[in-house]
Copies of this chain bind each other. A is one copy, B any other.
């Protein structure tokens, strides 16, 4: 008998029929002799509807009251799902975040789980009950309700799986696994049977939003066996593990596209030590994350530095740098928000430079111009014009995953 934690996202419980479907999946798992703890998100658009109401009444509401409001969404989900499971003749109990012992810090709206007191859940499991837990929420030391921010329910599930030493944590979503590229836009995208935590992290940060990074990081840290699968199809999903079977040989797991990116370039910097430090410490102070950084030698003993930031941060980054033009010392600043990042991810890539060159070959053949290049242990990213992004992804995916060109 295994202990399995399952998580169902908002689209999986969006209406009555889907709640019944989720109840079926849960009870089938239970019927096989497993102990089952389930984390649920709020139904479909519930959270957005509540946010809209709040903004109408006060666009600058405190995060404490926002969390009080939003936490009701998951509470409604667990109660409705529990009733459905009761109606099917099973013993079940629903628990809010605070009832389930989800202790967090006090960062309302973006709280971190500090400790899970699993006593109540254990007691209910000992009574052979199916336990439903409201995702996305917890309680702080003042006894106030907190929410975990984006991807919070995934994090709740992984944290519970870690605290309960669960054998498996299944993340049910509206896609049936992790694909080699976005199957909605890339022809021939294939589902992966397995992927490593690190690859998953790179894919998630590159815009393949299957699992939120926080949950994957936590799963890696506590070595939680993750599986991503669909609540609609019943197909086997993708397993996310520390080490996968195909680890030995170089492989590319997927191709991802990220449009939430903008490129800034500082032209004509003095070619002397400390320039980069000045630039990036100014941005760090304003909590602006910088992704790819490229430094090139310019003419007449100057240099240029280009870097990418999230698109929403671009204007502010530009303003900060312009305000400090004298301190940094540069001639001009350029901004381009019409760019996209295309990346391939795969363990062992660093040991096989042929992978990067095959990617560049594919892009060259497709007539896609590369603005910037960045490589890491397990990924190669290129910055391209936004209008070329979809074509670039397809070309690269064809190169690695088509029947003739694939290496997997």
- Which of A16, A66, A71, A83 gathers the greatest number of chain B CB atoms within 10 Å? A83
Q: Which of A54-69 contact B (CB under 8 A)?
A: 54, 56-58, 60-62, 64-66, 68-69
**Set B57, B71, B78: member contacting A83, Cβ < 8 A:** B57
Against B, the Cβ 8 Å flags (1 = close, 0 = not) of A37-60 are 000000000000010011011101
User: Shortest beta-carbon distance, A125 to chain B, in Å?
Assistant: 16
User: Shortest beta-carbon distance, A139 to chain B, in Å?
Assistant: 10
Can you name the residue of chain B whose Cβ is closest to the Cβ of A61? B83
Question: Does A86 interact with chain B (Cβ within 8 Å)?
Answer: yes
Question: Does A99 interact with chain B (Cβ within 8 Å)?
Answer: yes
Contacts of A58 in B (CB 8 A): 83-84, 86-87
Can you name the residue of chain B whose Cβ is closest to the Cβ of A69? B79
Question: Does A105 interact with chain B (Cβ within 8 Å)?
Answer: no
User: Shortest beta-carbon distance, A117 to chain B, in Å?
Assistant: 11
Q: Does the CB pair B57–A20 fall under 8 Å?
A: yes
- Which of A75, A79, A143 gathers the greatest number of chain B CB atoms within 10 Å? A79
Contacts of A79 in B (CB 8 A): 54, 65-66, 68-69, 72
Q: Does the CB pair A75–B82 fall under 8 Å?
A: no
User: Shortest beta-carbon distance, A351 to chain B, in Å?
Assistant: 53
Number of residues on chain A facing chain B (CB within 8 A): 37
Can you name the residue of chain B whose Cβ is closest to the Cβ of A76? B72
Contacts of A72 in B (CB 8 A): 72, 75-76, 79
- Give bound CA distance, A56 to B66, whole Å: 29
Contacts of A76 in B (CB 8 A): 50, 69, 72
- Give bound CA distance, A50 to B75, whole Å: 12
Question: Does A150 interact with chain B (Cβ within 8 Å)?
Answer: no
Given contacts A16-B53, A20-B57, A144-B99, contact A65 B87 (CB under 8 A): no
- Give bound CA distance, A20 to B56, whole Å: 11
- Give bound CA distance, A75 to B54, whole Å: 13
- Give bound CA distance, A69 to B75, whole Å: 7
Q: Which of A178-212 contact B (CB under 8 A)?
A: none
Contacts of A20 in B (CB 8 A): 57
Contacts of A65 in B (CB 8 A): 79, 82-83, 86, 94
Against B, the Cβ 8 Å flags (1 = close, 0 = not) of A284-296 are 0000000000000
Q: Does the CB pair A54–B69 fall under 8 Å?
A: no
**7 pairs of A and B residues whose beta carbons are closest in the complex:** A58-B87, A69-B79, A61-B83, A72-B72, A68-B79, A58-B83, A57-B84
